[in-house]
């Protein structure tokens, strides 16, 4: 779309690239051919690095943005025999794998949020600092634009979107300002919307937290692209496609994405059986283990070199066999600790039980804040 592909490749810096490669390597380095899914292909920076590092790996790359797919196809041309690039949203992954005849995969990467291409192209309408049409669609071939949302949503619906997806405490005031402006004429530009938002927010609140329109633009982008609804469906579906030993890495850039990711991983890393049994019943153990303690952040050097890494939160997990034999020593210690608590009544009240998840970490912990890096 009038942008030099070489120039775009040069300006695109993949976030936490080395850490992503480190986490994915054990899953992709296994004997024989492996399959890796880049669920948010973008400009292909992470994908290119994976293909270079793992010559026996086939890449399946998904993106809803046809322009991004075109750039990635050019960038990854030398790997043409090992790539399948698909115009799809990440919640469509099961259907994509079914069409390709791929029953399971070894690695998955989600690099969420708006891509470098979308931010850097003024006419896409994602940036509040540049005047552009109010579009914000990641897939410009279909869907509702931000202009339609701003000019047609009711006050309650607009306020809900801003409050829920932007965590904007002045959502009601901003929605009122938008409705007043709509009475004078249709709102069609990002610059005008940014001005309205800034004027609606009290002056003291405008002095902190970056640009006053930042949260509103985030909320509209999420609403237009159904990002959180798609992610909520996509994460468990993606986890289901991994083989034992397969790994998934998720890069989030705002708290709502990170909360969904944390919840999806916590569901798979906790035990499903009764908590008052000294041993796990077959099939009730955790099916994943976390690979990092909590959410990992980018280091100071990376943020300095790549400011877009400032807000990143990385979480990763590996599929395990829930029926694999557990370490005997750790199991005995877990049982001893529970029995001791029951007999001594340590901190217990009438009717309470001891949760085996509180036992010391033995490498199979279900605490959703512990992992490989702890």
The predicted pLDDT at position 285 comes to 79
Identify the residue with better confidence: 76 or 338: 76
Asked if residue 342 has pLDDT above 50, the reply is no
CATH node for 17-111+227-272+283-319: 3.40.50.150
Count the neighbouring beta carbons within 10 Å of the beta carbon of residue 309.
21
* Binding site per annotation, positions: 44-46, 63, 90, 111, 118
The predicted pLDDT at position 364 comes to 35
In angstroms, rounded to a whole number, what is the distance separating the alpha carbons of residues 196 and 212?
A: 10
Count the neighbouring beta carbons within 10 Å of the beta carbon of residue 265.
24
The predicted pLDDT at position 160 comes to 97
In angstroms, rounded to a whole number, what is the distance separating the alpha carbons of residues 158 and 80?
A: 44
Q: Where are the domains of the chain?
A: 17-111+227-272+283-319, 118-225
**What confidence tens digit (pLDDT) does each residue in 196-242 have?**
999 999 988 887 777 888 899 999 999 999 999 999 999 999 999 99
Q: How far is CA 53 from CA 11, 37, 82, 265, 319, in A?
A: 22, 15, 13, 27, 22
Are 139 and 92 contacting, i.e. CB atoms less than 8 angstroms apart? no
Are 47 and 61 contacting, i.e. CB atoms less than 8 angstroms apart? yes
Q: What is the mean pLDDT of residues 20-31?
A: 96
Candidates 3.20.20.370, 3.30.450.20, 1.10.150.170, 1.10.10.10; CATH matching 118-225: 1.10.150.170
Under the banding of pLDDT at 50, 70 and 90, the label for residue 85 is: very high
The predicted pLDDT at position 228 comes to 94
Lowest average pLDDT, out of 53-57, 256-260, 279-283, 370-374, goes to 370-374
Which of 183, 210, 204, 184 is closest to 194 using CA atoms? Answer: 210
**What confidence tens digit (pLDDT) does each residue in 164-188 have?**
999 999 999 999 999 999 999 999 9
Asked if residue 256 has pLDDT above 60, the reply is yes
**What confidence tens digit (pLDDT) does each residue in 110-163 have?**
999 765 545 555 555 556 667 788 988 888 888 899 999 999 999 999 999 999
Under the banding of pLDDT at 50, 70 and 90, the label for residue 340 is: low
Q: What is the mean pLDDT of residues 44-57?
A: 97
Angle between helices 93-100 and 227-241 (to 10 degrees): 40
Listed in sequence order, the residues at least 6 apart from 148 whose beta carbon sits closer than 8 Å to its beta carbon are none
Identify the residue with better confidence: 249 or 355: 249
The predicted pLDDT at position 337 comes to 57
Q: What percent of the chain has pLDDT over 70?
A: 75
Rounded to the nearest 5°, which phi and psi values hold at 252?
A: -110, 155
- Bridge-based pairing of strands 242-252 and 313-319 is antiparallel
In angstroms, rounded to a whole number, what is the distance separating the alpha carbons of residues 284 and 159?
A: 43
In angstroms, rounded to a whole number, what is the distance separating the alpha carbons of residues 349 and 226?
A: 45
Structure tokens at 279: 């041993």
Rounded to the nearest 5°, which phi and psi values hold at 34?
A: -125, 165
Q: What is the mean pLDDT of residues 61-86?
A: 95
Separation of first and last alpha carbons in the chain: 46
Asked if residue 279 has pLDDT above 90, the reply is no
Which of 295, 296, 277 is closest to 335 using CA atoms? Answer: 277
| Residue spans of alpha helices (H) in 167-288 | 171-184, 190-200, 203-206, 214-225, 227-241, 255-269
Are 92 and 62 contacting, i.e. CB atoms less than 8 angstroms apart? yes
Q: How far is CA 191 from CA 35, 128, 217, 319, in A?
A: 44, 6, 11, 46
Asked if residue 28 has pLDDT above 70, the reply is yes
Listed in sequence order, the residues at least 6 apart from 103 whose beta carbon sits closer than 8 Å to its beta carbon are 97
Query: In the beta sheet, which residues pair with residue 251?
Result: 111, 314
* Binding site per annotation, positions for S-adenosyl-L-methionine: 44-46, 63, 90, 111, 118
The single-letter DSSP state of residue 327 is P
The predicted pLDDT at position 361 comes to 37
Q: What is the mean pLDDT of residues 75-90?
A: 97
- The three-state secondary structure class of 343 is helix
Asked if residue 346 has pLDDT above 80, the reply is no
């Amino acid at each position: 779309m009038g942008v030099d592909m070489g120039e775009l490749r040069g300006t695109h810096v993949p976030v936490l690239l080395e850490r992503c490669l480190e986490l994915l390597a054990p899953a992709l380095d296994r004997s024989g051919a492996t399959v890796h899914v880049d669920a948010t292909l973008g400009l292909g920076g992470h994908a290119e690095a994976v293909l270079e590092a793992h010559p026996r790996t086939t890449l399946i790359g998904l993106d809803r943005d046809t322009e991004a797919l075109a750039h990635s196809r050019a960038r990854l041309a030398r790997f043409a025999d090992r790539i399948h690039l698909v115009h799809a949203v990440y919640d469509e992954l099961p259907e994509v794998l079914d069409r390709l005849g791929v029953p399971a995969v070894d690695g998955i990467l989600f690099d969420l949020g708006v891509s470098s291409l979308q931010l850097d192209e003024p006419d896409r309408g994602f940036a509040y600092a540049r005047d552009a049409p109010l579009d914000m669609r990641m897939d410009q071939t279909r869907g509702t634009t931000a202009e339609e949302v701003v000019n047609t949503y009711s006050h309650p619906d607009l306020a809900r979107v801003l409050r829920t997806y932007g965590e904007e405490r002045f959502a009601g005031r901003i929605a009122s300002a938008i409705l007043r402006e709509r009475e004078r004429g249709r709102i069609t530009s990002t610059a005008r919307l940014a001005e309205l938002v800034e004027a609606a927010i009290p002056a003291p609140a405008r002095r902190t937290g970056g640009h006053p329109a930042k949260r509103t633009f985030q909320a509209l982008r999420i609403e237009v692209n159904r990002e959180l609804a798609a992610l909520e469906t996509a994460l468990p579906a993606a986890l289901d496609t991994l083989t034992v030993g397969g790994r998934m890495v998720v890069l989030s850039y705002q708290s709502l994405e990170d909360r969904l990711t944390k919840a999806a991983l916590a569901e798979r890393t906790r035990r499903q059986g009764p908590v008052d049994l000294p041993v796990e019943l077959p099939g009730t153990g955790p099916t994943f283990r976390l690979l990092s303690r909590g959410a990992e952040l980018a280091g100071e050097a990376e943020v300095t070199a790549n400011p877009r890494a400032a807000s990143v939160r990385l979480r990763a997990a590996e599929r395990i066999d829930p029926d694999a034999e557990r370490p005997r020593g750790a199991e005995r210690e877990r049982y001893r600790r529970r029995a001791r608590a029951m007999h001594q009544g340590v901190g217990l009240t009438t009717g309470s039980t001891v949760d085996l998840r509180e036992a010391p970490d033995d490498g199979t912990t279900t605490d959703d804040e512990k992992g490989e890096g702890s």
